[in-house]
Amino acid sequence: MGKKKERIDFDSFYSFYFPGRWESLKEALHKEPVKTAYTKGLLKPYYLDEASVATAMALDIKKGDRVLDLCAAPGGKTLILAGQLGESGELTSNDRSSARRARLKKVIAEHLPDYAASQITVTGHDASKWCLYETDVYDKILLDAPCSSERHVLTSPSHLKKWGTARTKHLAVQAYSMLVSALDVVKNGGTIVYSTCALSPVENDGVIEKLRKKRPDRFKLVKPDIPFGEMTTYGWQILPDTAGGKGPMYIAKIIRIQ
């Protein structure tokens, strides 16, 4: 029989990726998230992390754009994207989960005026298979991928007990499938913002590195214009220990070039 693999615990895993910083970062993650009231174009404020606002704004939507929010629920970023469209353009807000989709619809109905809500189509498709049905369609795509959400894991003893490295690897594979599909769905010259609220580099730079290896000639990376956070190898990361409680959030801005 082969030697049984030793299980890596949560602290050891993140200490490896954040050497000399993990304890202060963990302390910041345990604190209450800092939220801001977003109001632009809304009937009433929607409260969310400033890092989430920065992520949606990084897509740099112009009036008249055709936009796809691939993993849209609970809906905060969809509200921001809709506000950027003004009175023109189209927004497809997608979430595969019916329960999350119901919450998304409720958020749209409660926060957006009728003209803005009418520009949004809510769908429930598998984001990783979108390219089988549409290609070269959208000007801008936001892929805020399902992720490890370590801030939640740390504050939930039951989730922390079940944590394992296999989960971050699985989520990275899933995110890559969604991203490579999005690269076919966005128009040539269009923009994709890939984001997660994960700390794990496997789900962040690791996904972009894989895309660079598999599709090296199809895109370029550009630095998002965000006034807080820090550079990573391929993107930008906002971490609460150095960003005044904002985040965590990872952002990679991708331009399709062929």
Residue 3 domain-assigned (yes or no) = no
Listed in sequence order, the DSSP H helices in 2-49 are: 10-17, 22-30
Each residue of 65-87: b (16+ CB within 10 Å) or e?
bbbbbbbbbebbbbbbbbbbbbe
Could you give phi then psi for residue 129, rounded to 5 degrees? -110, 10
Report which DSSP code applies to 8.
Answer: P
Q: Is residue 28 part of a domain?
A: no
**234 lies in some domain:** yes
**Count of the separate structural domains present in the chain:** 1
Q: Is residue 44 part of a domain?
A: no
The reply to whether 7 falls in a domain is no
Determine the pLDDT at residue 1.
44
- For 247: left if phi > 0, alpha if psi spans -120 to 50, otherwise beta; the answer is left
Name the pTM for this structure. 0.96
Q: What is the pLDDT of residue 197?
A: 97
In this structure, what token pair is assigned to residue 185? 């769905």
Q: Where are the beta strands (DSSP E) in the chain?
A: 35-38, 46-49, 66-69, 90-94, 120-123, 138-144, 186-196, 219-222, 230-231, 236-238, 249-256
Strands in 112-185 per DSSP E: 120-123, 138-144
Counting as low any pLDDT under 70, the low residues of the chain are 1-7
Of the candidates 200, 204, 251, 207, which has an alpha carbon nearest to the alpha carbon of residue 225? 251
Give the structural domain span for 232: 49-256
Among candidate residues 71, 131, 147, 197, the one labeled active-site is 197
Q: Is residue 145 a part of any domain in this protein?
A: yes
Q: Tell me how far apart the terminal alpha carbons of the chain are, to the nearest angstrom.
A: 49
Task: Check if 197 is active-site.
Answer: yes
pLDDT at 105: 98
**CATH code for the domain in which residue 119 is found:** 3.40.50.150
Sign (positive/negative) of CA torsion 139, 213, 200, 247?
A: negative
Q: Please give the pLDDT value at position 8.
A: 84
The answer to the question of residue 101 being in a domain is yes
Per-residue pLDDT at 25: 97
Separation of alpha carbons 216 and 35, rounded Å: 37
Whether 211 is in a domain gets the answer: yes
Q: What is the reported pLDDT for 7?
A: 65
191 alpha carbon, distance to own chain's centre: 14
